[in-house]
Amino acid sequence: MIKVVIAEDDFRIAQVHEQFLQKISSVQLVGKALNAKETMDLLSKNEVDLLLLDIYLPDELGTDLLSTIRDTYPVVDIIMVTAATETAMLEKAVKYGVSNYLLKPVTMKKFVETVEDYKRKKNILSVSDEMDQTMIDRFFGTTNHSTIMQKDLPTGVDRHTLEKVKEVVKELRGVSIDEMSEQMGVSRTTARRYLEYLVSINVCIAKHEYGIVGRPQRKYYFIE
């Protein structure tokens, strides 16, 4: 669950952005702030993953608040949502490592796409302690699932079946070889072949988990 704070001095705009967030799964709004002081109060009292920060707050510029946030709450990610079009504002935001910069008025489509992209990057970083170049390229948006899936498939991997396997992994939010075999009506060998191929192209991640009887079970998770 991604926990979000909205810092916006216009309560009507904040309400609209709250409604946009409700369109996105696995996102929870933990509070709305009308000024810089309320923003810092919310950050101090809640576990926050993402701050949607306006620049023109009544008591302090959002860009001036960035240094304080970075010093005090370095793990909080920030997306600027502002009417400020000055290049200097963008440059300062970038220097403090903001995840994105949205200009008002923001359409729902653009807002949702931006937060979903943030979620995607956060998920990529969470699935493994080490990264390879393919995962890094995906993080920075230089490759994607469709590019990967267009490559020539190895012997024994059918494109249509592969897409179905991906859908099952996504729907079940984690699946074992036995579960995939049952869902697809195929042998365990076939289920393992497809799942391991998805791991090899960094579409899935595999983890060993312990079940009720204590035996480790290899489970496969879709990388959002």
> Residue 205: which CATH number?
1.10.10.10
Q: Which of the listed residues 63, 94, 126 is the one where a domain comes to its end?
A: 126
pLDDT at site 127: 63
pLDDT at site 154: 80
pLDDT at site 98: 96
Per residue in 40-85, pLDDT (tens digit) is 999 999 999 999 999 999 999 999 999 999 999 999 999 999 999 9
Q: Tell me, yes or no, whether 159 and 204 share the same domain.
A: yes
Q: Tell me, yes or no, whether 176 and 212 share the same domain.
A: yes
Per residue in 117-134, pLDDT (tens digit) is 898 888 777 766 777 776
Assign residue 87 the CATH number of its domain. 3.40.50.2300
Q: Looking at the DSSP assignment, which residues form a beta bridge with residue 82?
A: 103
Q: Tell me, yes or no, whether 117 and 9 share the same domain.
A: yes
- Residues 5-39 as b/e (b if ≥16 CB within 10 A, e otherwise) read bbbbbeeebbebbeebbeebeebebbbbbbbbebb
Q: Which of the listed residues 126, 146, 171 is the one where a domain comes to its end?
A: 126
Asked if residue 150 has pLDDT above 50, the reply is no
Cα gap 151→209, rounded to integer Å: 31
Cα gap 174→168, rounded to integer Å: 9
Q: Tell me, yes or no, whether 214 and 138 share the same domain.
A: yes
Q: Tell me, yes or no, whether 105 and 32 share the same domain.
A: yes
Q: Tell me, yes or no, whether 118 and 173 share the same domain.
A: no
For the chain, the domain total comes to: 2
Q: Tell me, yes or no, whether 107 and 204 share the same domain.
A: no
Mean pLDDT of 102-109: 95
CB atoms within 10 A of CB 85: 9
Q: Tell me, yes or no, whether 155 and 140 share the same domain.
A: yes
Per residue in 198-213, pLDDT (tens digit) is 888 778 888 887 765 5
Q: Tell me, yes or no, whether 158 and 119 share the same domain.
A: no
Higher-pLDDT residue of 110, 210: 110
Burial class (CB in 10 A: 0-12, 13-18, 19+), 220: buried
Q: Which of the listed residues 126, 157, 175 is the one where a domain comes to its end?
A: 126
pLDDT at site 61: 96
Q: Tell me, yes or no, whether 111 and 139 share the same domain.
A: no
For residue 122, what are its two tokens?
A: 């956060």
Q: Tell me, yes or no, whether 118 and 139 share the same domain.
A: no
Show the domain range for 189.
Answer: 133-222
Q: Tell me, yes or no, whether 94 and 163 share the same domain.
A: no
pLDDT band at residue 216 under the 50/70/90 scheme: confident
